[in-house]
Structure 1
Amino acid sequence: MSRSKSKSGVSRRTLLRATGAAGLVASAGAVTSNIFSPAIAGPAPKVRLAWTEVAACHSPLGFGVAKGLYAKHNLDVELFFQGASGQTLIQALATGKADVGAGLIGDWLKPLEQGFDVKLFVGSHGGCQRLLASQASGIKDIASVKGKTIASYDVVSPPKVAFQVTLAKAGIDPENDVTWKVVPFDLVGEAVNRGDADIAAQLDPWAFSIEKKFNLVKIADTQTGVYEGHTCCVLGANGPFLKANKDAVRRLAEANIEVYDYVAGHVEETAKWYLDELKPAGLTLAELTEILGSFVLHNHPIGQPLVDQIRKTSEDLKLVKVLDSSTDPTAFAERVTVNLLA
């Protein structure tokens, strides 16, 4: 899923930045200062935030920096393009290239189970993955997925893992009752269109793009069904950075909640920034607006609700043998999170 270079006109070495003194970065024509308030007294601590810049669900992070929402909380946020996979996110924090990262819960939990020194502290949103069937396959629901071939871009891709849970909870063995076919990231939709696979498991905005391009049928997503009320992506902080900057991390959590709530009420404005700055997947403004508008943008648990979300996901990942059978979901969730409200 990694990209060799940014699709935006923004150099990775001159990443979008917000400073407490300057307020707003004029990186997109659509941004204005109408919601910016003076920074809190004192120097703004710098926070390097790892993101996947072309992912639809991460666009609010870049928009929030450009809009001044992080600077409003007296934070100097620098966005670090970490690539587009959970492995590169983990590497960015482990090697000290970033202090905080945004990623799918499913990408965080196995490294955390293995002792990776990061604490999860706030959720961002719900749902950004889709399971899509070809018209020719005749598949209309999860029950009819049994015996079919599903294309995904990695043997442990987040969409594969997410929909293995969906299948398992529907009584379908996610390994033996279906065939998983690994194809290059950009060819997941093509594989289904050519008939090499019956179903595609993919992330947005690419999932949305191939659904429209090839007239695919959405069988499941990570917002409804077994994922109703679940959080999709969360922020995690490097252990040493958190210990030395807990107040800054708390303010980052508050700012992140404000960012996603703002985006929920200003979807087209965010989509315009997304289109102008990142130019994702050749999609139009109307399509990007539709994608962002389809996300559950008010689902950002913190404190005990976040612990509950991590416990639920841990139970799911044990079900499909991603986490060890000996892992206690409740104890694990409490260990890998930090309650910034305490």
Structure 2
Amino acid sequence: MSDLGNRLGSRRGLLGLAAGLGAAAVVGPELVTRALAAPAVVAQTGSLDKVRFTWNQSALCLISSAVAQDDGIFRKHGLDVELLNFGGSTDVMLETIATGKADVGFGMILRWLKPLEQGFDVKLVAGIHAGCSYVVTTRASGITSIEGLRGKTIGIADISGTSRNLYAIMMQNAGMDPERDVTWKAYPDDVMPIAIAKGEIDAYVAGDPVVYYQVQASKGELFRLASNATGDWEARTCCVLGIRGRMIRENPDIATRIRRAILEAAQATHNNPDRAVELALQYSPRQRTSNPQDVRNMLQSLPYYHQPIGDEFRAQVLAYAQELKRAGVLRPRTDPAQYTDRIVASIPV
């Protein structure tokens, strides 16, 4: 094993401690301005609308939920929000929202689109940020692009998971066949650098905080080749806001205020990352001994400055649906346009 493998192998304990930090679009500036400048509800004591909001409080990419709660943004928009910490599967989360056990949720769009095909009464209303997933390789590999992965072996924790679907889409968009042009091998996240150092794989897919600390420990030998926040993907949303369909139909004003609050909180996360870091450490007790600068660096790798809504958001969901159908993830009989119309809700700005 190379020095890289030895050095990173000794970091497993650190990576394990870091695992709780994280799990991720273009909108015209005028839409963001209109959404954030929309008049907030002036809430009187006892007049707030109660909302149950499900999220994973250990996921750094969802920290705007805490920003909205702790900095009074929800209350500013007339909402009394109960944050429900949820660590279960996406299917269970969507069922929780659809059946009224919760009203709103955050999640990675590529985790949501297949379960939503089943008909859950949950509507997507906005994108929150890009990022969340990375392809990592070594300087010595000579790989400099997604196309450079042709003929290579890629490590991934879940052969049939969301990250595989994401990079299959990227490869197809680059003219590659993700089934024939690359070989996928399953490895736990924390042994990926060892596998790459031993020559068992040429690159691997994982997310922060694991990737952050692995790259840091490699002293420049590992680097992020690509992510769903680089190149054309910087304009694509990763994590999305979903609201129970019944709430949108029966209480569209509340749904509108929920989205306004989250858009404002996402912008606040971008404008004041130090406050977001403070809350991330507070909401994830296991990470209170983490270096705040490391958390800040990870947070700033997630583009929080684009929150697509309206037509732009629908266009992005449609593109994902078309690509997932092409990749064989969505059912052959699913019509991407009709499917997108069903799961994306249009609510007032």
TM-score range, shorter chain: 0.7 to 0.9
Q: Which residue of 1 aligns with 2:328?
A: 321
Q: Which residue of 2 aligns with 1:261?
A: 267
Structure 1 137/264 Cα, relative in aligned 2: closer, same or farther at 3 Å?
A: same
Q: What is the alpha-carbon distance in structure 1 between the residues aligned to residue 125 and residue 158 of structure 2?
A: 28
- In the TM superposition, what whole-angstrom CA distance separates every residue of 1:253-289 from its partner, at most 9, and x where no partner exists? 0000000111111012211221243154974211211
- In the TM superposition, what whole-angstrom CA distance separates every residue of 1:95-122 from its partner, at most 9, and x where no partner exists? 6442211111111111222222211111
For the 8 Å contact 2:156–2:186, the answer to whether it is kept is yes
Q: Which runs of 5+ in 2 are unaligned?
A: 1-15, 22-39
For the 8 Å contact 1:130–1:203, the answer to whether it is kept is yes
Higher helix share: 2
Residues matched between the structures, number: 311
Q: Which runs of 5+ in 1 are unaligned?
A: 9-35
Structure 1 97/154 Cα, relative in aligned 2: closer, same or farther at 3 Å?
A: farther
For the 8 Å contact 1:82–1:92, the answer to whether it is kept is no
Q: What is the alpha-carbon distance in structure 2 between the residues aligned to residue 37 and residue 47 of structure 1?
A: 15
For the 8 Å contact 1:209–1:281, the answer to whether it is kept is no
Matched, 1:301 2:308: yes
Q: Which residue of 2 aligns with 1:45?
A: 49
Matched, 1:132 2:136: yes
Matched, 1:82 2:86: yes
| More contact order relative to length (CA 8 Å, sep ≥ 6) | 2
Q: Which amino acid aligns with 1:116?
A: F
Aligned residues with identical type, % of pairs: 33
Q: Which amino acid aligns with 1:271?
A: V
Q: How does 1:186-265 map to 2 (within 5 A)?
A: 186-193=190-197, 195-214=199-218, 215-265=221-271
Name which of 143, 148, 156 aligns with 1:144.
148
For the 8 Å contact 1:63–1:274, the answer to whether it is kept is no
- In the TM superposition, what whole-angstrom CA distance separates every residue of 1:182-207 from its partner, at most 9, and x where no partner exists? 33355455544554432221223333
For the 8 Å contact 2:131–2:238, the answer to whether it is kept is yes
Q: What is the alpha-carbon distance in structure 2 between the residues aligned to residue 125 and residue 274 of structure 1?
A: 16
Q: What is the alpha-carbon distance in structure 2 between the residues aligned to residue 177 and residue 130 of structure 1?
A: 19
Three-state SS of the structure 2 residue aligned to 1:133 is strand
Using the size of structure 1 for normalisation, the TM-score is 0.81
Three-state SS of the structure 2 residue aligned to 1:54 is coil
Q: What is the alpha-carbon distance in structure 2 between the residues aligned to residue 132 and residue 185 of structure 1?
A: 12
Q: Which residue of 1 aligns with 2:8?
A: none
Structure 1 194/40 Cα, relative in aligned 2: closer, same or farther at 3 Å?
A: farther
For residue 310 of structure 1, report the CA deviation from its aligned partner: 0.7
Alignment RMSD = 2.8
Using the size of structure 2 for normalisation, the TM-score is 0.79
For the 8 Å contact 1:52–1:58, the answer to whether it is kept is yes
Q: How does 1:254-293 map to 2 (within 5 A)?
A: 254-278=260-284, 279-280=286-287, 283-293=290-300
For the 8 Å contact 1:50–1:102, the answer to whether it is kept is yes
Q: What is the alpha-carbon distance in structure 1 between the residues aligned to residue 259 and residue 312 of structure 2?
A: 14
Structure 1 218/316 Cα, relative in aligned 2: closer, same or farther at 3 Å?
A: same
